[in-house]
């Protein structure tokens, strides 16, 4: 079964850091482009970051550029999001998503992990 499982969320103070992880299973992780998408409470979906297969390309939303770093470890079938200088407005559920091969969409979603930035 194709599955994405996020972890690492929690409560952090403004200015703090947090590292999210996404464990992938059921498919050849290294072949796929991966993304992080977030959703603030009661709000819509917001794309955060994208990393191409083989880390051949990396993109960030302007709202997180310079503060967040996406990475992947294909040997561990894992995706990461290092979040530094966190702000209250970064409070959201963070979803790990997989694109289809050769396609443009968020095909597979994890269950999400909640990040709360508050003093």
Which of 76, 100, 101, 118 is the binder for other proteins (CB under 8 A)?
Answer: 100
The candidate with the shortest Cα–Cα distance to 113, out of 90, 92, 89, is 92
What is the closest distance, in whole angstroms, from the C-beta atom of residue 119 to other proteins in the complex?
A: 28
Cβ neighbours of residue 11 closer than 8 Å, sequence gap 6 or more:
116, 118
Paired residues of 115 in beta bridges? 10, 92
Q: Which stretch binds other proteins (CB under 8 A): 19-27, 71-79, 82-90, 99-107?
A: 99-107
Q: How far is the CB of 118 from other proteins (least distance, A)?
A: 22
Dmax (CA) of the chain = 43
H helix or E strand, kind and range, residue 81: strand 78-83
Total residues interacting with other proteins, rule: CB under 8 A: 23
27-66 binders of other proteins (CB under 8 A): 35, 37, 44-47, 50, 59-62
Q: Is 106 in the site for other proteins (CB under 8 A)?
A: yes
Q: Which stretch binds other proteins (CB under 8 A): 11-19, 22-30, 70-78, 100-108?
A: 100-108
Which residues neighbour 100 within 8 Å (Cβ) at sequence distance 6 or greater?
Answer: 107
Read off the tokens for 57.
Answer: 């390309």
Q: Which stretch binds other proteins (CB under 8 A): 21-29, 70-78, 79-87, 102-110?
A: 102-110
């Amino acid at each position: 079964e194709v599955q994405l499982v996020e972890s690492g969320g929690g409560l952090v103070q403004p200015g703090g850091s947090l590292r999210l992880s996404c464990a992938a299973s059921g498919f050849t992780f290294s072949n796929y482009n991966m993304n992080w998408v977030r959703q603030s409470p009661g709000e819509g979906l917001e794309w955060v970051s994208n990393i191409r297969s083989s880390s051949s390309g990396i993109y960030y939303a302007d709202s997180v550029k310079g503060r967040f770093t996406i990475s992947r470890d294909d040997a561990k079938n894992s995706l990461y999001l290092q979040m530094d200088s966190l702000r209250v407005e970064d409070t959201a559920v963070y979803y790990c998503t997989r694109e289809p091969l050769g396609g443009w969409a968020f095909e597979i979603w994890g269950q999400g992990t909640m990040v709360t930035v508050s003093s």
